[in-house]
Amino acid sequence: MNIQEAKEEIKKTVKAYTARTEAGTFRIPVKRQRPVLLIGPPGIGKTAIMEQIARECGLGLVSYTMTHHTRQSAIGLPVLEQREFSGETYTITAYTMSEIIASVYEQMEQSGIREGILFLDEINCVSETLMPAMLQFLQYKTFGSHHLPEGWVIVAAGNPSAYNRAVRDFDTVTLDRVKRMEVEPDLEVWKRYALRQGLHPAVLSFLELKPECFYVMEAGRNGFVTGRGWEDLSEMLFTLEELKLPVEEVLFEQYLQEEETARAFAFYYRLYEKWSGQLRPERILQGEYRAEGQEEYRELPKLPFDERLCIVWLLLQRLSHMAETLEEQEKVTKSLEYFIGGLKRNKECRGEALTKACMEGLERRKKGMQVKKECGLLPSSEEEREKKLFEVIRNCMEQVRHGRDIRMFESRLEEEQEKAGVQREELTKALGNVTGFVKESFGTGQELIVLLTGILEHPGTGRVMREELSEEYRDAAAFLNTDAKEEALKRRL
Compute the mean pLDDT over every residue in the chain, rounded to the nearest whole number: 82
Q: How many CB atoms lie within 10 A of CB 455?
A: 26
Of these ranges, 51-60, 64-73, 224-233, 338-347, the one predicted with the greatest mean pLDDT is 224-233
Lowest mean pLDDT among 69-83, 106-120, 314-328: 69-83
pLDDT at 45: 83
Just give the CATH number of 3-184: 3.40.50.300
- SS3 label, residue 461: helix
Question: Which of 28-42, 146-160, 307-321, 395-409 shows the lowest per-residue confidence on average (mean pLDDT)?
Answer: 395-409
**Is 422's pLDDT higher than 70?**
yes
Per-residue pLDDT tens over the stretch 277-326: 777 888 888 887 665 445 666 777 788 888 888 889 889 988 998 998 99
Give 233's pLDDT tier (boundaries 50, 70, 90).
very high
Mean per-residue pLDDT for 272-276? 85
Cβ–Cβ contacts within 10 Å for residue 415, how many?
11
- CATH 3.40.50.300 placement within the chain: 3-184
Residue 379: phi, psi to the nearest 5? -65, 150
Render pLDDT for 183-196 as a digit per residue (tens, 0 to 9).
Answer: 888 888 888 888 88
- Which DSSP letter does residue 480 get? I
Is the pLDDT at 492 greater than 50? The verdict is no
Instruction: Classify residue 198 as left (phi > 0), alpha (psi -120 to 50) or beta.
Output: left
Return d(Cα 125, Cα 155) in angstroms, integer. 15
Does the structure show a pLDDT above 90 at 239?
yes
| pLDDT band (50, 70, 90) for residue 488 | very low
**Alpha-carbon torsion (225, 228, 231, 232), positive or negative:** negative
Q: Which of 23-32, 290-299, 470-479 has the highest mean pLDDT?
A: 23-32
Instruction: Indicate if the pLDDT at residue 78 is higher than 80.
Output: no
- Select the more confidently predicted residue: 180 or 368: 180
CB distance 456 to 477 below 8 Å? yes
Closest C-alpha among 180, 424, 454 to residue 317: 454
CA distances from 308 to 180, 227, 234, 267, 443 (A): 43, 24, 20, 15, 11
Of 488 and 469, the one with more pLDDT: 469
Confidence of residue 349 (pLDDT cuts 50, 70, 90): low
Residue 84 near residue 70 (C-beta atoms within 8 A): no
User: Is the per-residue pLDDT at 103 higher than 70?
Assistant: yes
Residue 50 has pLDDT above 80, yes or no: yes
Note the residue count of the chain. 493
This prediction has a pTM of: 0.74
Q: Which of 247-261, 285-299, 384-398 has the lowest mean pLDDT?
A: 285-299
Neighbouring C-beta atoms of residue 429, cutoff 10 Å? 15
Question: What is the pairing mode between strands 142-143 and 146-147?
Answer: antiparallel
Q: Give the range among 104-108, 158-162, 244-248 with minimum mean pLDDT.
A: 158-162
Reference 323, options 461, 227, 217; nearest CA is 461
HEC secondary structure over 204-267: HHHHHHCHHHCCECCCCCCEEECHHHHHHHHHHHHHHHHCCCCCCHHHHHHHCEEHHHHHHHHH
Q: Is residue 470 over pLDDT 70?
A: yes
pLDDT at 493 (0 to 100): 37
User: Residue 47, SS3?
Assistant: helix
* CA 437-438-439 angle, 5° bins: 90
